[in-house]
Structure 1
């Protein structure tokens, strides 16, 4: 059955039946707007859009996996501000011949990922479109903490990472070459493992800046260096190459450090902390902040790619 067969409101009812508005929703889907509790009095908001052929392929990942990726990309932005996610709003633009079961599975993936952080999907919109697109807006609550922005890094700070990098990029490369193994790397691309709890922990520990690593560690830390008017150096010795990644890199003729340092879609969190601080659980030191500007690796300019750019 296609979504043209169900019609707009039939599609909405099928999708909503698979969603949970979450504990922070005072009024969920079904009205002109949702009502979400904001105990802090400030709301953190972020939006991402995923376009078929640009951000995902249906022959590479199932609908539920794409739903999880769409939710993760937005939820990671919220925790990177040091906030706790509270709700998602989702808009689906789809061809009229799309199987309604695909949309239902997408909703199940969205629900599964938001459940990991105690949030929910509180509303959204649907529209016919020749191109399949998923637009997600995430909301979060700071819990009385100041937001952790990109412009607070100071010379002498420690650069630290929570989560993993390179796995999703390796999976993307494997899929783009027509392979489906190693499974662990392919699954990392299909469904990222985001260190959600690490964001609020970093904020509570006094992180001076933080960012979601969505486009590549070098590119995203470059944003922090630019915003903070500092120089940042990363150390390759802080990154170990897993055996599966090393084997895949050898087979594909890729430098694994290109995946680790310039690969996106894992949604790790990178932050800077004052010198001498005890890093919170889940964080490890990977570099340092200095006077100056720009980004270096092992105190030298990086000559490889730095990450994803939508228009490059």
Structure 2
């Protein structure tokens, strides 16, 4: 079908969200910016690099899966600044043979994620549609700080309590099952839930603003793994994030089922697995942790070094996702 015909299918699916001053249809949308500042983040998913349609274990990624994940990972970045998402634009590059029903599903997945994850004030205001050799989805999200200062990676201080909100290691376990696990059709419901955690991550979107209101000193999205992202926060703040080994083992025990099936060490998923899109935060030692946050370690001086991450006092080598790592 033509570009116009495809857009005519998509727009009604997206019109149920938010109240833009001017939505899709013109050359640009118009959104309100009541705070006077706009938080913005963008990310791209490309077939074969960031997701597959057909996985080795037989799972088939629907358009709704890809739409959900595209929304979730970008909403999480706004959340990690302590902000609330207000608007989203989406750019789709589609091979000519892409089925229209798959694109319908992608639009529905965007809407379902926005509603289910708690970003009801976010509207899909427009975007771009084009044809190309590979399927690619780029989402840009705008956010409102609601009068608060943005939470940065550079604010952690020695003595702070380190805490996380959301899951650790589940998306990595789901990826392992998709890539190397037994046939999806024969999996028990609990293992299918782990795969869903990879295909449809659930960032805790209320946790970012709550951390800001609780006076967090630093905050960031956990998209590339606890060690890699922890190292980034530690270096940005000039401190060392010392993770509690016992707490980490507790997170790993939650993944004992898929780990046993795959013959894997679940602690490696917890430490190095990304795409759960939880939050890593540093709070004053006297602060009461907001609902949903769990203490996972402490912030200590860098002792003259550039900062980084450690486990039980021992420096840890950052591991996690890197698009360009060899």
Place the TM-score, normalised by the shorter chain, in its bin. over 0.9
Q: Give distance in 2, aligned partners of 1:7 and 1:121.
A: 22
Q: How far apart are residue 299 of structure 1 and its match?
A: 1.1
Q: How far apart are residue 24 of structure 1 and its match?
A: 4.7
Larger displacement relative to structure 2 (222-231 or 110-119)? 110-119
Larger displacement relative to structure 2 (74-83 or 289-298)? 289-298
Which of 28, 38, 46 is residue 23 of structure 2 equivalent to?
28
Q: Give distance in 1, aligned partners of 2:267 and 2:223.
A: 16
Aligned length, in residue pairs: 306
Question: Residue 232 of structure 1: SS of its match in structure 2?
Answer: strand
Q: Give distance in 2, aligned partners of 1:258 and 1:86.
A: 36
Which of 126, 131, 135 is residue 132 of structure 1 equivalent to?
135
Q: Give distance in 2, aligned partners of 1:16 and 1:236.
A: 49
On the 8 A contact 1:22/1:87 being kept in 2, the answer is: no
Q: Give distance in 1, aligned partners of 2:77 and 2:243.
A: 22
What's the Cα RMSD here? 1.4
Q: Deviations over 1:266-287 (max 9, x none)?
A: 1101110111100111111001
Q: How far apart are residue 244 of structure 1 and its match?
A: 6.3
* Structure 2 residue 282 is the aligned partner of structure 1 residue 272: yes
Equivalent positions of 1:223-302 (< 5 A) are 223-239=232-248, 240-241=250-251, 245-292=255-302, 293-302=307-316
Q: Structure 1 stretches of 5 or more lacking a match?
A: 1-5
Q: Give distance in 2, aligned partners of 1:24 and 1:216.
A: 35
* Structure 2 residue 50 is the aligned partner of structure 1 residue 55: yes
Q: Give distance in 1, aligned partners of 2:77 and 2:251.
A: 26
On the 8 A contact 1:21/1:28 being kept in 2, the answer is: no
Question: Residue 17 of structure 1: SS of its match in structure 2?
Answer: helix
* Structure 2 residue 302 is the aligned partner of structure 1 residue 307: no
* Structure 2 residue 66 is the aligned partner of structure 1 residue 66: yes
Q: Give distance in 2, aligned partners of 1:220 and 1:242.
A: 18
Q: How far apart are residue 55 of structure 1 and its match?
A: 0.7
Q: Give distance in 2, aligned partners of 1:297 and 1:109.
A: 38
Q: Give distance in 2, aligned partners of 1:279 and 1:38.
A: 30
Q: Give distance in 2, aligned partners of 1:20 and 1:8.
A: 18
* Structure 2 residue 218 is the aligned partner of structure 1 residue 205: no
Q: Give distance in 2, aligned partners of 1:147 and 1:21.
A: 29
Q: Deviations over 1:184-239 (max 9, x none)?
A: 21111111111000000001111111011011011111111111111111112123
Q: How far apart are residue 248 of structure 1 and its match?
A: 1.8
TM-score normalized with structure 2 length: 0.91
Q: Deviations over 1:108-160 (max 9, x none)?
A: 00111122311121100011100100000000000000000111111111110
On the 8 A contact 1:262/1:307 being kept in 2, the answer is: yes
Q: How far apart are residue 302 of structure 1 and its match?
A: 2.8
Runs of 4+ residues over 3 Å off in structure 1: 241-244
